[in-house]
Structure 1
Amino acid sequence: MLHYWRKNGVLLLLALLFFAGLILISFSMERGMYLVFLCLLVIYSRSPKHRFVALIFFTFLGSFFLFQLTNQLLADRFDLSEEQRILCNRSLLILIIAGLYILHLFYKQKVSFFQQKPEWNHRIVLPFHSTSVFHFLLLGLIINGVIFASLIIQQEFSYLQSVVVFGLLFSIINSVFEEVIWRGIVLSSLQKRTSLFYAVTVTSIGFGLMHLSIGFSFSASLLFSFAGLAYAFIVWNTKSIYPAILFHFIINMGMVLSGWVL
């Protein structure tokens, strides 16, 4: 791993700038954010080999900054309930998707996000066993289902009734938009221009860090990074984004019903 980063110093610097940008924008640290944008532009001009990677990160951070500003504007202008605020926040992820999509169109680059039919029978080789992707995911869903079920049964029935519709809307919007962004456009674009290792590492850590913007701690964001790694594993082994969206939806629904979101 160290050999990889030594050999690809510019890519490492780009990744660190991207992570720093996510943190700085999440905490509204504008001076540091502008410095990150400037550094990305310098690398864009000095390193033709990694120019489009720098543009991906620059566009993502610019769209993320617009996402933050729009959310703040809505909070200041309108008296939204907690549920409305969260749904608006997740819906505005479309700004990041739009920014990345426009970038690819402008540079005549194909936009790809693993939208093909899942390869359920692909074999996953484990240390002492091999299994199909379908059975691996089924086991993961059962384990997570048991964990969330133990938390959900502690909630009042009236609470569960009151959050079902919100939970469905939140889980659909969040799972689709986050997967299209991270395991879709960004993962596929980075993998084409760098390596699978780099693409998975950057998208997994970035996915976790972006949760800082909605109030999660650094330790919780680290856990989300591991979740991002799991989603990337699902996408790469099924060659499809749809199983990851389904898995993500179920996890989000479990979080809502167990009281982690509201």
Structure 2
Amino acid sequence: MVISVKHKKILPYLQLLLFVIIIVIVQFKQFTIAFTLLLACILYLAIFAKQKRVFLWGLAAYSIGYLFYLFGDRFIDSLPYHVNILMVLSRCLLLFPIVIMFYVARKFGEKSVLYWSRPDWQAKITFPFIWDGFHSISIKGFLLFAISINIAIFTPFILKTNPSMSLHLLLFLLFFSIINGLLEEILWRGIILTSMVNLAGEKAALLFSGIAFGLSHLILGYSILTCFGFAIGGFFYAGITIRSGSLFPAVIWHIVFNCLMILSGLIPFIE
């Protein structure tokens, strides 16, 4: 039995929605429910559709990688090191979902990341809807403008916190910001965005990857409102990645944003 053409068109979007649902479920550590949903969907596609199932296997790989991430995080918490070192080590655990999703993509003969190339700094991005809006600007100009806006927003909070610069703060600032920014971008705007683009196209991938990225911060203790803010950031990280053809601009932006969060106290630094 083969599903109708109409359902075939809807299936990619249902899989993207499933990705968002799975992200929320694993944030609450309900892996049994997550894998049951995934198995049901894989069986459904195997029986009723001829569509490639690589996206669902990639989602399963993410869930397995995230399970390893949580176990690794529990182990790291037991180590007798300073909390700042533990926070940096914890972000390194993002390598688990990255490596496992990369492996699955290779096994299916898919390109794991579309955006390894050098950025096209002169490519145009439109505000506020990436492909459409009231103003078009180059990637370089947009990145400088976005970082300037972030600095302006965070400056009052940084002045209020008034962090005293020390070698320990500088090292934490560099290591945490670079590791977290680089690995999150490889995972979200690299592997995950690529898999979504291959499934449903750039615009749908931008929307759903941004939502999932925002909700993935629930487990870190951020509120729904803050996660909504991260989702908006995720939209623009994905947009600048797609339009430039490279991860590099989003990595730069993400690293700067992490630095600002640390200096403002939103990411805690313990002296």
Which residue is equivalent to 1:132? 138
Specify every segment of 5 or more residues in structure 1 that has no aligned partner in the other structure, as ranges: none
CA RMSD in angstroms comes to 2.2
Selected match of 1:68 from 64, 67, 70 = 70
Q: Distance in 2 between matches of 1:165 and 1:58?
A: 35
Moved more, 46-55 or 242-251: 46-55
Selected match of 1:146 from 149, 152, 156 = 152
The amino acid of 2:211's aligned partner reads I
Which residue is equivalent to 2:89? 88
Q: Indicate yes or no: 2:107 matched with 1:106.
A: yes
Q: Indicate yes or no: 2:209 matched with 1:203.
A: yes
Determine helix, strand or coil for the equivalent of 1:119. Answer: coil
Pick closer, same or farther for the CA change 1:7–1:42 going to 2, 3 Å: closer
Pick closer, same or farther for the CA change 1:128–1:102 going to 2, 3 Å: closer
The amino acid of 1:136's aligned partner reads F
Which residue is equivalent to 1:228? 234
Q: Distance in 2 between matches of 1:115 and 1:239?
A: 8
Specify every segment of 5 or more residues in structure 2 that has no aligned partner in the other structure, as ranges: 1-5, 128-132
Pick closer, same or farther for the CA change 1:103–1:31 going to 2, 3 Å: closer
The amino acid of 1:221's aligned partner reads C
The answer as to whether partners of 1:114 and 1:239 remain within 8 angstroms in 2 is: yes
The answer as to whether partners of 2:17 and 2:208 remain within 8 angstroms in 1 is: no
Q: How does 1:170-181 map to 2 (within 5 A)?
A: 170-181=176-187
The answer as to whether partners of 1:41 and 1:54 remain within 8 angstroms in 2 is: yes
Give the superposition deviation at 1:105. Answer: 1.9
Structure 2 length-normalised TM: 0.86
Which residue is equivalent to 1:117? 118
1:5-41, Cα deviation, whole Å (9 max, x unpaired): 9874323332233222222222122442343233333
Give the superposition deviation at 1:258. Answer: 0.6
Pick closer, same or farther for the CA change 1:166–1:64 going to 2, 3 Å: same
The answer as to whether partners of 2:12 and 2:199 remain within 8 angstroms in 1 is: no
Selected match of 1:192 from 181, 188, 198 = 198
Q: Indicate yes or no: 2:60 matched with 1:58.
A: yes
Which residue is equivalent to 1:33? 34
Q: Distance in 2 between matches of 1:135 and 1:159?
A: 30
Pick closer, same or farther for the CA change 1:88–1:43 going to 2, 3 Å: farther
Selected match of 1:258 from 238, 243, 264 = 264
Q: Distance in 2 between matches of 1:38 and 1:30?
A: 12
Q: Distance in 1 between matches of 2:263 and 2:44?
A: 45
Which residue is equivalent to 1:169? 175
The answer as to whether partners of 1:44 and 1:55 remain within 8 angstroms in 2 is: no
Q: Distance in 2 between matches of 1:65 and 1:157?
A: 35
Pick closer, same or farther for the CA change 1:95–1:30 going to 2, 3 Å: closer
Matched positions, count = 257
Which residue is equivalent to 1:217? 223
Structure number with the higher helix fraction is: 1
The amino acid of 2:65's aligned partner reads S
1:189-239, Cα deviation, whole Å (9 max, x unpaired): 321232112211221111111111222222221111111001011111211
Q: Distance in 1 between matches of 2:111 and 2:149?
A: 37
Give the superposition deviation at 1:169. Answer: 0.5
Pick closer, same or farther for the CA change 1:250–1:43 going to 2, 3 Å: farther
Which residue is equivalent to 2:244? 238
Structure 1 length-normalised TM: 0.89
Determine helix, strand or coil for the equivalent of 1:130. Answer: strand
Q: Distance in 2 between matches of 1:200 and 1:19?
A: 13
The amino acid of 2:121's aligned partner reads W
The answer as to whether partners of 1:40 and 1:58 remain within 8 angstroms in 2 is: no
Q: Distance in 2 between matches of 1:119 and 1:10?
A: 33
